[in-house]
């Protein structure tokens, strides 16, 4: 069995009872804004996505003692992120200083490193290379909106910390709302990230529709900018992404409103349909 450090993923499938007392490409030392020992600064250079806040975090000896000796001896927690090439606000992206990895995922990893009494080192990669880093032992833990699917649990150990919600985003002038019935996707063209849990779900729905003689076209793009250009131009009908990313983008692009039936947010250019 591989060492623990090459198998642990922090996932988004559920909320855990773990209490913590509550960034350019490549890697950084994870520190963001300089802080005194025992203090973690979150929300750094987040370009308005969060308020910069200093949080006192105490090392917890009983939790630290559970770590592999080689991790403790290194003095570092090497965190694998999968937000290249363009980032995924507010989950993980390059801050307004053009170098610091910021967002909810890297900030939470900084808090966890502090509980361990370790210095966080953030290694930002593409989604696929995130798992390469974990498998090779380059990183100690993956922390990047990773859903703990049954397939992934055959290979990795998980520590879940929040509920996994996904959402569709459509143009504001599109009256389509998703109610949970995959039949509504018949004839649609939807963008999704390769290798993601939302892709797996879409492919399952596509297969069901095909068996009924119906179509669902799935498109792949390298960056979020490319997705939104395709959405604006009508090349795709929707994009299927983690709900925090969808909700953030919709809120940033205009004043939101909530249609009672869909509980959706409607800005100037897009609407979110929560799954």
pLDDT tens digit sequence for 177-231:
999 999 999 999 999 999 999 999 999 999 999 999 999 999 999 888 899 999 9
d(CA 117, CA 199): 37
Mean pLDDT in residue range 139-157? 91
Helix, strand or coil, per DSSP, at residue 209? helix
Q: For the chain, what percent of residues have pLDDT higher than 70?
A: 79
Report whether pLDDT(264) > 50: no
The reported pLDDT for the residue numbered 269 is 42
Task: Specify the higher pLDDT residue, 124 or 163.
Answer: 124
The reported pLDDT for the residue numbered 1 is 28
Mean pLDDT in residue range 39-67? 95
d(CA 58, CA 90): 26
Task: Specify the higher pLDDT residue, 26 or 157.
Answer: 157
Question: Any idea of the CA torsion for 103, 47, 195, 215, to the nearest 10 degrees?
Answer: 130
Residue for token pair 């960034």: 23
Q: How confident is the model at residue 274 (pLDDT cuts 50, 70, 90)?
A: very low
Query: Taking the model in full, what pTM does it have?
Result: 0.76
Residue closest to 10 by CA, chosen among 115, 167, 94: 115
Report whether pLDDT(108) > 80: yes
Task: Specify the higher pLDDT residue, 114 or 5.
Answer: 114
């Amino acid at each position: 069995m591989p060492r623990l450090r090459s198998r642990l993923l922090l996932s988004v499938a559920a909320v855990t009872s773990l209490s913590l007392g509550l960034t350019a490409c490549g890697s950084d030392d994870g520190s963001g804004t300089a802080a005194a020992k025992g203090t973690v600064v979150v929300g750094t250079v987040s370009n308005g996505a969060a308020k910069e806040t200093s949080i006192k975090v105490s090392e917890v000896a009983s939790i630290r003692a559970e770590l592999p000796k080689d991790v403790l001896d290194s003095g570092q927690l090497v965190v694998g992120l999968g937000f290249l090439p363009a980032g995924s606000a507010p989950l993980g992206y390059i801050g307004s200083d053009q170098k610091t990895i910021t967002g909810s995922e890297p900030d939470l990893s900084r808090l966890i490193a502090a509980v361990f009494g370790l210095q966080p080192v953030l290694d930002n990669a593409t989604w696929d290379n995130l798992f390469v880093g974990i498998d090779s032992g380059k990183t100690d833990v993956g922390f990047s909106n990773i859903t703990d699917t049954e397939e992934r649990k055959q290979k990795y150990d998980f520590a879940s910390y929040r509920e996994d919600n996904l959402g569709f985003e459509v143009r504001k002038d599109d009256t389509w709302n998703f109610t949970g019935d995959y039949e509504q996707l018949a004839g649609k063209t939807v963008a999704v990230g390769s290798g993601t849990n939302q892709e797996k779900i879409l492919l399952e729905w596509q297969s069901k529709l095909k068996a009924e003689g119906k179509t669902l076209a799935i498109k792949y793009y390298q960056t979020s900018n490319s997705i939104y250009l395709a959405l604006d131009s009508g090349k795709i009908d929707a994009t299927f992404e983690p709900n925090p990313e969808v909700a953030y983008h919709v809120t940033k692009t205009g004043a939101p409103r909530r249609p009672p039936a869909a509980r959706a947010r409607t800005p100037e250019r897009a609407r979110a349909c929560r799954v």
